[in-house]
Amino acid sequence: MPINKRWVVKPQGETRAVENLSAALGIAPVLANLLVQRGIDTVEKADRFFRPSLAHLHDPFLMKDMDKAVARVEQAVRNGEKIMVYGDYDVDGTTAVALVYKFLRQIGHTNLLFYIPDRYTEGYGISVKGIDFAARKGVSLVITVDCGIKATEKVVYAKQKGVDFIICDHHLPADEIPRAVAVLDPKRPDCHYPFDELSGCGVGFKLVQAYAQKNGIPFEQITHLLDLLVVSIASDIVPLTDENRVLAHYGLQKLNSSPSEGLSSIIKICGLESHTISIDDIVFKIGPRINAAGRMRMDQNDENAAPSGGHAAVSLLIEGDAKMAIELGNDIDSFNQDRKNIDRKVTLEAHNYIESNPELKQRKSTVIYNPKWMKGIVGIVASRLIETYYRPTVVLTMSNGLVTGSARSIPGFDLYQAVESCSDLLENFGGHMYAAGLTMKPENVEEFTRRFNEYVEQNIDPQTLVPQVDIDSPLLFSDITPEFNRQLNRFQPFGPGNAAPVFATYAVSNQGDAKLVGADMEHLRMDLMQREKPNTTIPTIAFQQPTHYEWIRAGRPIDVCYQIVENHYRGTVSTQLRIKDIKPLMK
């Protein structure tokens, strides 16, 4: 049964500011309104927004401890010390490891290895196993990326083993900062770096930028790493503002013109080689393939890395040989196919369980547990369940004798607080407002389920349980001209903080050519006409929205909200509306 959605038109920009920008920039008032809604209300701000420049990047030495970090890396390089780059198993972590590793290799440091912890035996972050591995291999310096900010005890343990740490992280720190050689994290309370929304890979890049700056390496010699960085920025859903907008802009240029061999192999597998790659392409096609390796169990025996699926992803991302990159890329793609098959099967099992349990179906939250499900895909399954039931969701499974799982939320509800309210039942938990991970003893599952559901019941605003579509502005179809689209494309890259605009057009209709498409006839393709003068017809696609097919095919009027996209088909590029929601107009 489809979920009814609330349409909320955002407050429109102040009239005079919109008119001034429209006149000064020579753009349509609707587009000027988009700028003002984003806080860009002067020509100077618009010029900076539309013309991202590497000159806008902040000095990396403004970041707390950067001088210490660079000095320690210089020492290690000068003395030929063995350096290990250590990162998380997701896209941000593996791209960050690859970026720092490739730079160190670029400057001629060969006494080098990397480490990705195993999701199933070590879990997230710095592990004792990883430290022991480093000590055993004679590593004297570990550079962590995308993890480590809470590893206070692990850093002490490493020091006892003769291993120094430089931590590059972007997560919120605890009360105590680890006593590493240097801790780079713009979210440190005592760090006054101008922008604190970098990805983990972004913090790693700032270390690279600082080292290059200090050692006279031209910036142009590190821009080849930006293709990795934009993949992390897109996949980790960080705001596409300030430095991230600049880095993503140039990263996309690199990804589209001359990507590294590893990323090039994934681009070909995704069928994107003749396509202008966007942030969406990274989020939905490139990123999931890199992520899939870290989700799957692997048996890997490599003297330079502990066995982990994430190891395969980094191996691909640092590979310089095109033929080998294609082989590794195919391996990664097979992991993704396996992941999708398991994800589909588990999601179906979860759906069937909920549908067969009327009490569970009626709740305002979902907590579901099956010890046989694979740990690496429970977060995906939680997100899938939200698509259907639209409520805070926790999916649990068994791993290494403990119940472990992932929680996902809906806009407007603080999931982290809900999980934290059950902290006395948990062995470990972490996350943020919209996503969390947690671990507990099996005997606590029943009580956790009861208390989590109770917390949501008592604290969620009922209106939050109705999905909301935020609409930037009403728009006439006749306004969607080639020049309008050209100007709209200048707003890219789109993402958090600069979302692709959603427009609404009212009282449109189809002339009888609407059709259901897709393997299960789940998508609706149609040309829509607006009878304003002049009459304008435009092709549209509504994914997973077959409900109103008969109404629409009969030519009855509807309101639609949508994003304007480029449709690539057999070498032809055309404008298409990607429908977000449809409302039949009842007379």
CB 149 within 8 A of CB 178: yes
Structure tokens belonging to residue 247: 């880095």
Q: Which of 54-63, 167-176, 286-295, 353-362 has the highest mean pLDDT?
A: 54-63
- Inter-CA distances, 1 with 56, 80, 347, Å: 48, 63, 17
pLDDT band at 3 (very low <50, low <70, confident <90, very high): low
CA angle 329, 226, 216 (to 5 degrees): 130
Q: What percent of the chain has pLDDT over 70?
A: 96
Please check the confidence at residue 115 and state whether its pLDDT lies above 80.
Answer: yes
pLDDT band at 118 (very low <50, low <70, confident <90, very high): confident
pLDDT of the residue at 305: 42
18 strand-pairing partners: none
| Residue 292: CA count within 13 A, CB half-sphere | 24
Of the listed ranges 235-239, 301-305, 344-348, 417-421, the least confidently predicted one is: 301-305
Please check the confidence at residue 5 and state whether its pLDDT lies above 70.
Answer: yes
pLDDT of the residue at 300: 42
pLDDT of the residue at 587: 65
Please indicate whether residue 313 or residue 305 has the higher confidence score (pLDDT): 313
* Nearest 10 degrees: Cα torsion 230, 236, 241, 242: -70
Please check the confidence at residue 114 and state whether its pLDDT lies above 50.
Answer: yes
Structure tokens belonging to residue 205: 């890049």
CB 442 within 8 A of CB 408: no
Q: Averaged over 507-523, what is the pLDDT? A: 91
- Inter-CA distances, 563 with 145, 468, 498, Å: 35, 15, 13
> Measured between alpha carbons, how far is 251 from 256 in angstroms, rounded to an integer?
9
pLDDT band at 400 (very low <50, low <70, confident <90, very high): confident
88 strand-pairing partners: none
H or E element in which residue 160 lies: helix 152-160
CA angle 413, 414, 417 (to 5 degrees): 140
CA 432 remoteness from chain centre: 14
CB 502 within 8 A of CB 578: no
Please check the confidence at residue 385 and state whether its pLDDT lies above 60.
Answer: yes
Q: Averaged over 210-231, what is the pLDDT? A: 98
Q: Averaged over 183-212, what is the pLDDT? A: 97
Please check the confidence at residue 492 and state whether its pLDDT lies above 60.
Answer: yes
* Nearest 10 degrees: Cα torsion 194, 106, 182, 243: 10
pLDDT of the residue at 122: 80
pLDDT of the residue at 30: 96
Closest CA to 54 of 247, 199, 202: 247
> Measured between alpha carbons, how far is 71 from 73 in angstroms, rounded to an integer?
6
Structure tokens belonging to residue 578: 């990607």
CB 109 within 8 A of CB 128: no
H or E element in which residue 584 lies: strand 572-584
Residues 85-102: tens digit of each pLDDT? 999 888 999 999 999 999
pLDDT band at 152 (very low <50, low <70, confident <90, very high): very high
**Mean of per-residue pLDDT scores for the chain:** 91
Give all strands (DSSP E) within 293-448, no chain letters: 366-369, 393-399, 402-408, 426-431, 435-440
Its pTM stands at 0.88
pLDDT of the residue at 303: 44
164 strand-pairing partners: 141
Name the one residue in this structure whose structure tokens are 């035996």.
121
Name the one residue in this structure whose structure tokens are 């008592």.
458
The separation between the first and the last C-alpha atoms of the chain, rounded to the nearest angstrom, is: 23
> Measured between alpha carbons, how far is 78 from 70 in angstroms, rounded to an integer?
12
pLDDT of the residue at 125: 83
> Measured between alpha carbons, how far is 197 from 233 in angstroms, rounded to an integer?
10
pLDDT of the residue at 306: 42
H or E element in which residue 12 lies: none
Please check the confidence at residue 108 and state whether its pLDDT lies above 50.
Answer: yes
Please check the confidence at residue 304 and state whether its pLDDT lies above 50.
Answer: no
Closest CA to 56 of 244, 240, 279: 244
Structure tokens belonging to residue 571: 């070498």
Please check the confidence at residue 292 and state whether its pLDDT lies above 90.
Answer: no
Other beta carbons within 10 Å of 221: 12
> Measured between alpha carbons, how far is 413 from 6 in angstroms, rounded to an integer?
16
> Measured between alpha carbons, how far is 102 from 109 in angstroms, rounded to an integer?
10
pLDDT of the residue at 144: 97
Structure tokens belonging to residue 195: 């922008």
Q: Averaged over 224-249, what is the pLDDT? A: 95
CA angle 58, 499, 226 (to 5 degrees): 40
Q: Hey, what domains does the chain have and what are their CATH numbers?
A: 6-10+468-584 (2.40.50.460), 57-336 (3.90.1640.30), 344-465 (3.10.310.30)
Please check the confidence at residue 333 and state whether its pLDDT lies above 90.
Answer: no
> Measured between alpha carbons, how far is 515 from 339 in angstroms, rounded to an integer?
31
pLDDT band at 129 (very low <50, low <70, confident <90, very high): very high
> Measured between alpha carbons, how far is 467 from 183 in angstroms, rounded to an integer?
40
Residues 162-197: tens digit of each pLDDT? 999 999 999 888 889 999 999 999 999 999 999 999
pLDDT band at 295 (very low <50, low <70, confident <90, very high): low
Q: Averaged over 459-464, what is the pLDDT? A: 93
CB 525 within 8 A of CB 552: no
Please check the confidence at residue 2 and state whether its pLDDT lies above 70.
Answer: no
**SS3 at position 344:** helix
Please check the confidence at residue 67 and state whether its pLDDT lies above 70.
Answer: yes
pLDDT band at 4 (very low <50, low <70, confident <90, very high): confident
CB 543 within 8 A of CB 553: no
- The sign of the CA dihedral 410, 412, 417, 421 is negative
DSSP H helices in 258-414: 261-269, 279-281, 287-295, 309-318, 322-355, 358-362, 378-389
Q: Provide the total of helices (H) and of strands (E) in the chain, helices listed first.
A: 21, 19
